[in-house]
Every structure is written in C-alpha cells, then in structure tokens.
Amino acid sequence: MAFSLDNLLVIGISSRALFDLETEEAIFQNQGLDAYRQHQLENENAVLKPGAGYSLVKALLKLNSLTPGHRLVEVVIMSRNSSETSLRIFNSIEHYGLDISRAALSGGAPLTPYLQAFNISLFLSLHEDDVQAAINSGVASALLYQLPENAADLEQIRIAFDGDAVIFSDESERIYQEQGIEAFEAHERANAKQPLPAGPFARLLVALSYLQNNFKTPDGRAFPLRTALVTARSSPAHERVIRTLRAWNIAIDETFFMGGVNKSAVLAAFQPHMFFDDQHGHCIKAASVVPTGRVPIKQERSQ
C-alpha cells in the first residue's frame, strides 16, 4: 500500500539547515562545484555536527513515539545536492538515529515545485532564495540563523512566533511602517472585533494546536508541546489579536505583548526550539539566545 503524507505535519528541511555544513558551503562558494563534490566524497563517513534546525526536527520526530502505530510528523530532506554528494547526509542521519527516510535531491534545480508534491507544512533552509520562493508559493517557510552557543534542548517541544507578518498577515504591519504608530493603533481600535487575516504560519499554528488538543502521552499526560506568541504589539492593539485567536479556536499557551521592548530576554526564559519573526533586526537579537528563523514577506508577481 502506498504511504500517504496527507494529515501529517511534514517538515521540509535543507541539509545545511539540519547539519552544520558551513565549511562545505565555503568550499562551494570559493572553489566551485568540483571541489565541493570531491570534499563530500572524501568525507562521506565523517559525521556532521547538528545545524540550526536539528533540535526542532529531533524534538518533533519524538512525537511519533508517543502514538504507536500512528505517525504524526514526517521530515523530508529538501536539498539542491545530487544523490552522489548526499551520502554523507544520510550517514549523519543514521548516526544520530533520526527517523528520516525521505529526500528530494534536485541536483541544483529549484526546490519549490517539490514542496507541494511532498505536502510540506513547514520549510526550513539557510538559502534565502529557496525560502522566498517557498513563501511566494504559499508554504510556511523560514530562513534560519546560525545556532547560539548553549542553545537549550528541552524534552518539551517549544515554538515561539511573532504575530504580524508571521501568524497574521502583514496588513497592519504595513500601516505601522507607512503611517506610524498612531495610525496603526487607530486602525486596530476600529477593527478590534474584526479577525486579522491569516499569515503564512497560521496553518502551522492550527496544526500544532490540533496535536495539542487531540493527543495525549501513553500515560494520559498532556502532549509535550508548548507555543508562545511574542509580539511587539501592546494595548490597545492587543484586543484584536486575542479575538482573532478566539475566532480561530486556538489557545496559545503563553502570550507576551512586548510594546517594542527587546524580545530576547523573554525568549531566553521561554527557551523555544525555534522562534519565527519577520524582521531581521529582531531575528539578529533573538538568534543570540535561541534558534531563530526569519519569515520573508510574500512577494506578489508583477503583472
């Protein structure tokens, strides 16, 4: 019987996001494809160190062990490598005992056409062009930053999100950027009871909420998954956020209305496996304390 990826949380991750391949990337950029190929072949039995997305992938895959006979999460390696240079990746996957058996190796071709083919729910990469193309195609995607030193690796899965342009659309964010804080607050007051439009990560949040609400551990405890909203919003712009999540029937575990305060201290206390934000300035600060991914703004096709 064919295996179906429907009704699964499918994570697509580049090999460079899963493992630390910065030395190899430098060889490719500075010496070219042939030197990169030779390096990978000569080192295919050398185990790679974990990369920026490793801890999140490892934690999510553990969910499958809580539901014997019923997989919840699938991870697919999405790489522009060829099969010839990818053996080192698979050897490292086996070394760490990661339950990953599927891959899309495009041999240099764009990855975007294959995201829908594998029913990808979330795509993680260190290549900005691939992430932007994925966002443009409607797939929740993030450009990962390098891991901070001493990043936490808790048993409980923790994921933190910014609000505008991540969970919600960038509609209100654009008003703030173009017209200022007063216009933004006036707009949010006037639309407080109108749910915000969904952003690129809304469906992912809905899927995580579904897992939390519909599954328990074998001993009956709550599912080991915790979410947080860490947003620059504050009163009076808080009401619309609360009403939107209520309309979506989603309960986020922890919510922080920062009002422009640096998010890093709160994130360091929450210790997420990943924090998603749309602004590079916020991501740079956050990446010093927790694994971080930047969510690009969707680019509409020019007519």
Q: Which residues are catalytic?
A: 162
Strands of the 225-231 sheet, one edge to the other: 102-105, 73-79, 9-13, 122-125, 141-144, 292-294, 274-277, 157-161, 225-231, 254-257
Report the distance separating Cα 24 and Cα 28, nearest Å. Answer: 6
8 A C-beta contact, residue 81 and residue 109: no
Report the distance separating Cα 157 and Cα 166, nearest Å. Answer: 19
Nearest to 18 by CA among 60, 49, 62, 63: 49
Report the distance separating Cα 187 and Cα 175, nearest Å. Answer: 8
Report the distance separating Cα 78 and Cα 215, nearest Å. Answer: 28
What's the distance, Cα to Cα, between the start and end of the chain in Å? 44
Report the distance separating Cα 236 and Cα 204, nearest Å. Answer: 27
Collapsing DSSP to helix, strand or coil, 160 comes out as strand
Report the distance separating Cα 116 and Cα 157, nearest Å. Answer: 26
What's the token pair of residue 275? Answer: 């924090």
Give 100's Cβ-side CA count (13 Å radius).
29
- Beta-carbon contacts of 281 under 8 Å, excluding residues fewer than 6 positions away, are none
What's the token pair of residue 247? Answer: 């309309």
